[in-house]
Amino acid sequence: MTQVATMHPSVEATESPLTPESWGKLGMWIFLIGDAMTFGTGIAAYGAIRYGSADWPVPSNVLGIPLTAFMTFLLICSSVTMVLSLSAIKRGDQRGLRNFLLLTILGGLIFLGCQAYEWNHLIFHRLPEKGFSFTGHLFATTFFVLTGFHGMHVTGGVIYLSCIVIQGVRGRYSAERYNPVEIAGLYWHFVDLVWILIFTFVYLL
Amino acid sequence: MATAHKEPNYIGVFWWLLALTIIEIAVIYMPLAKLAIGILLVGLALSKASLVAMYFMHLRFERRTLALIALTPLLICVLLVFALLPDLSATPHQSAVASQVSTTPH
């Protein structure tokens, strides 16, 4: 009886407001809205510091645009594979779910690898060359805070998606029960969305 | 039910995101005024972000209240920028004056 109730949320006595499918989805949205505030405040503070600085460099002269453009492309691709894995399990396609999730995780891992390379290159070569040491200029500090906070989110996302793929291999999801995949997807797309903003405000603008 | 919506064309959204990213990178190398580049970049970034939110995060197919709540962080951060502006507008002048003072004796 309880199983029937969970499989058909519409018959539950207390339906989640705003997201009738599940409470978990509402919970993820609340978390993401809070997280968006944190990132938004970070980007606003970055703008404030930059506007008040007299010797801010043009970011594209210091930072590597081609590599980060590739990283943007990578995250967009991994977002696409994430929605494809969700649409696979909605059709009951277990193999599609697993393969697309693994591709998404691979995208996240390559992204992190690129970021590790980028940081290493910036800290030891590029920034000293241009006269902005790791700790010596707010240009470097704000850059590492924003991209580092985002990188931590990608790391968290890779761990999160790995848990989902393990559950998927164990056959926990089906065409009737795909909600956890959708919720994990919300988080992953949010990380992609934040990168789109960081790429624009920190690298291009 | 909200889940009964027709699945959006995900690959189509992907091409849009890719095209907008290429335009963004092209914009910074264009011989335009700084303000024009800034407005273009912010517009392009916000349209990419809304594409991701509306189609990948399915916000378009959720209840409208959820979409409105999801928009509040953007609104609050824009307000934050305006709240910070009075403090900031003083700083560039000060540093400009300071650099003038330090350069004049030489």
The tens digit of pLDDT for each residue in B75-104 reads: 998 898 888 877 776 555 444 444 444 444
Judge if B36 and B53 occupy the same domain: yes
Looking at the structure of chain B, the number of domains it has is 2
Judge if B82 and B55 occupy the same domain: no
CB–CB contact B10 A84 (8 Å)? yes
Sign of CA dihedral A133, A136, A140, A144: positive
Q: Does A40 touch chain B (CB under 8 A)?
A: yes
What ipTM was predicted for this assembly? 0.83
Q: Predicted confidence band at A7 (pLDDT cuts at 50, 70, 90)? A: low
Tell me the residue range of the domain where B31 lies: 7-61
CB–CB contact A196 B76 (8 Å)? no
Q: Does A152 touch chain B (CB under 8 A)?
A: no
Judge if B53 and B90 occupy the same domain: no
Fold of A22-204: Four Helix Bundle (Hemerythrin (Met), subunit A) (1.20.120)
Give the closest of A19, A48, A186 to B84, CB-based. Answer: A48
Give every CB contact of residue B2 below 8 A, 6+ residues apart in sequence: A19, A20, A21, B61, B62, B63
CB–CB contact A51 B65 (8 Å)? no
State the Cα–Cα distance between residues A109 and A114, nearest whole angstrom. 9
Residues of A in contact with B13 (CB under 8 A): 80
Query: What pLDDT is recorded for position A84?
Result: 94
> Whole-number mean pLDDT of chain A?
88
Q: Which long-range contacts (CB under 8 A, 24 or more apart) does A166-169 make?
A: A168/A89, A168/A94, A168/A97, A168/A98, A168/A101, A169/A98
Q: Predicted confidence band at A12 (pLDDT cuts at 50, 70, 90)? A: low
Query: What pLDDT is recorded for position A147?
Result: 95
Segments making up each domain of chain A, as ranges: 22-204
Q: Is residue B72 part of a domain?
A: yes
The answer to whether A14 touches A175, Cβ cutoff 8 Å, is: no
Q: Is residue B1 part of a domain?
A: no
Q: Does B15 touch chain A (CB under 8 A)?
A: no
Judge if B17 and B55 occupy the same domain: yes
The answer to whether B15 touches B49, Cβ cutoff 8 Å, is: no
- B10-29, pLDDT tens digit by residue? 999 999 999 999 999 999 88
Judge if B70 and B96 occupy the same domain: yes
Q: Is residue B30 part of a domain?
A: yes
CA distances from A147 to A42, A46, A78, A198 (A): 10, 12, 18, 8
Q: What is the pTM of this model?
A: 0.86
More confident of the two residues B100 and A106: A106
Judge if B84 and B104 occupy the same domain: yes
Q: Does B56 touch chain A (CB under 8 A)?
A: yes
Q: Does B54 touch chain A (CB under 8 A)?
A: no
Q: Worst-scoring range by mean pLDDT, B22-26, B35-39, B65-69, B84-88?
A: B84-88
